[in-house]
Amino acid sequence: MNIQAEEQARCVILRPQGSRSDSANAASVKSVLLDRLETQQQTVILDLNEIEFMDSSGLGVIVSTLKRISGTKRLILCGLQPAVTRLFSVTRIDKVFEIATRRDEAITLAKIPQP
Amino acid sequence: MTQDACETWLCMALQSRLEGVRVAAIAVRELCKSYGLSDNLQHDLELCLVESLTNIVKHSYKGETTHVMELSLRFCKDVIVCTLTDFGESNFSLEEELQGCDTLDPDTPPENGLGLLIPRSITSSLEYTAGPDRNTLVFTIPVGEKGDIMPTE
């Protein structure tokens, strides 16, 4: 899975390109994602808009991303599709992350000091 | 409910590969669409199926890709019954796997080990039976909740 990266409004926006994030590709996604975290920007926005299905392995990749940057950078998720939202809800991981509905909302949220 | 009251939708034999799990998930998703199940129900079923099959690949077969796992999907009046069978190691305790899942700490979220929490949270029943020659995981998902109504014929 490729991960598109761009910088905007002092954020780096990472967008995984592919419809599934599961055990079959979790290791490669994690490797690419962690590489992309090497940025000067203090906020990382992970735009999951293309991900139609995610399992617990895919979720684990995002949790490991959060742990990697914790204390040094801020992570905001956006673009969660219904199946991904459901996964976050079932596992109660939604309480762990800052989540915006759309990318522009995530950028706006990034301008507000972290609670 | 008797076996006769159920309509079998799908029987599959899969190679014990993670890519095979993905194929099964996509097949089941398309099947659900053809039966007109709601998106919510499709998501739940696909998620439970993927987590359970992945568990078989990783734990019963230890990642070995040359084994077989069987999938049966039936619709029984107001529930979907999914039966997964493997022929690998049976030294697996569902209760042990689920231990601690109720105490998820938001300050220290786990990177793995959430797999079976998902089917348990979504399904109305989850049973694992370890036998001398095969292991069987059966879960049921109610149909009718959340507006997930089966279409008329």
Q: How confident is the model over A91-111, as a mean pLDDT?
A: 94
Interface confidence, given as ipTM, is: 0.89
Give chain B's count of helices (H) and strands (E).
4, 5
CB of A10 less than 8 A from some CB of B: no
Q: How confident is the model over B89-117, as a mean pLDDT?
A: 65
Report the percentage of chain A scoring pLDDT > 90: 74
Cα–Cα distances in angstroms (integers) from residue A12 to residues A97, B58, B117, in the given order: 17, 35, 33
pLDDT band at B104 (very low <50, low <70, confident <90, very high): low
Q: How confident is the model over B135-149, as a mean pLDDT?
A: 79
Q: Is 70 exceeded by the pLDDT of residue B106?
A: no
pLDDT higher for B147 or B108? B108
CB of A68 less than 8 A from some CB of B: no
Q: Is 50 exceeded by the pLDDT of residue A21?
A: yes
At B15, list the tokens. Answer: 């190679």
Distance CA B99, CA A84 (A): 24
Contact A87 B46 (CB under 8 A): no
Smallest Cα–Cα separation from A59: which of B44, B115, B98, B122? B115
Contact B22 A60 (CB under 8 A): no
Cα–Cα distances in angstroms (integers) from residue B111 to residues A61, A66, B44, B53, B129, in the given order: 7, 10, 21, 19, 27
Q: Is 80 exceeded by the pLDDT of residue A104?
A: yes
At A24, list the tokens. Answer: 């079959």
Distance of alpha carbon B90 from the chain centroid:
17
Contact B118 A60 (CB under 8 A): no
Would you state the pLDDT for residue B59?
87
pLDDT higher for B114 or B30? B30
CB neighbourhood size of A40 (10 A): 7
Q: How confident is the model over B66-75, as a mean pLDDT?
A: 95
pLDDT in tens, A32-72: 998 888 877 889 999 999 999 999 999 999 999 999 888 88
Alpha-carbon distance B52 to nearest alpha carbon in chain A (angstroms): 11
The pTM for the full model equals 0.87
Would you state the pLDDT for residue A41?
82
Would you state the pLDDT for residue B148?
65
Segments in B1-152 forming alpha helices (H): 18-34, 39-55, 94-98, 117-122
Would you state the pLDDT for residue B99?
60
pLDDT in tens, B44-53: 999 999 999 9
Q: Name the residue in chain B with its Cα closest to that of A59.
A: B111
Mutation target among A85, A88, A90 for the B interface, most CBs of B within 10 A: A90
Q: Name the residue in chain A with its Cα closest to that of B101.
A: A91
Average model confidence (pLDDT) for chain A?
92
pLDDT in tens, A47-58: 999 999 999 999
| Dihedral sign (CA B21, B33, A46, A88) | negative
Burial of B6 (0-12, 13-18, 19+ CB in 10 A): middle
Q: Is 50 exceeded by the pLDDT of residue B153?
A: no
